[in-house]
Structures are given as C-alpha cells and as structure tokens.
Amino acid sequence: MDSTAIKFLYTNAFNDIESARNCQISISQKEMELQMININSRYSSYDNSYLNNMKKQSIEMEIMNLMNKRNNYINSSIGYALTIAENEVQENNGISVASIVIGTISSFILTVKDSFNISIVNHSTLSLISSKLLFSGINMLQLKNAIERLKSVCKVI
C-alpha cells in the first residue's frame, strides 16, 4: 500500500473518532437534560408528569440514536486502523502509524465505558492481526502493544 492510501486511511480514522467524540458530547448533554427533567419533576409545584415523561422518552430515544451513531463511527475508525495495521504487518514495518491511531481509539473507548461493542468483522480482524503479531518478534512491539490494548478495551479474547 502506498503512502497516499495510508494517509487517507489515517485521516479517515481520526475524522471518524472525532465524529464519535462529538456524538459523545451530545450524549452527555442529553443525559444532563434528563437529569434536569428529573429534578424539575421532583421539585415542581405543578403536576406535569405526562409532559415530563414524553420529554424523557424523546431524549432517551435521541440518546440511543446518538450511541448507535457513535458506535458506528468507532467501528469505522477501528476498521481503518486495522487496515493500516494489516499493511504494516505484511510489510514488517518497524515504525507503526497504526499504533498511534489504535492508541487514540483505545483511549476514547475507555471513556465510553461498557456501552461499546466491536463489530464482528473488526473483532475477527483484530484477532487475526494479534495472532500474526505473536511471531513478529521485538521489531513490531509498538503495534503489538497497541493491538493488545485495543483487544483488552474491546473485550476481545
């Protein structure tokens, strides 16, 4: 794979993780709105429980949609990063660009806790790359560590 393709994948991976961050910010804002509705309903002198329930359901649906969108962005970013990693393993590159992207993705996934599930395709690719790296020796240590961390964060065995 040439450097232009690697740069394209690298840029797309970071763009998708940035989009996932934006979704996470929106999720946090919506969760705050839910808390405000709960506080309002608890201390309000008016009985507006029907309206509050409608607002809560609407916000909860928005949160679910944002979570799905965020997870799709994360999986897309992982896909790009794993494509770069596969190329590095094939070419036996000592300096790893993929490890930078994978490290960023792993750190972000840690912030969303357990509400992320890796796609089956990414799960399989991650396991395959990890297996290939078992025999790579010390020259691909940076990539090997990044892959193992991503496996741990995504709960891939």
Q: What is the pLDDT of residues 69-83, one digit of tens each?
A: 999 999 999 999 999
- Sorted by sequence, the CB contacts under 8 Å of residue 128 that are 6+ apart come out as none
pLDDT of 48 reads 76
What tokens appear for 127 in the block?
């396991």
- Residues 73, 16 contacting (CB under 8 angstroms): yes
pLDDT at 70: 97
Q: Where are the domains of the chain?
A: 3-153
Domain covering 3-153: architecture: Up-down Bundle (1.20)
Which amino acid, one-letter code, is at 91?
Answer: E
pTM: 0.91
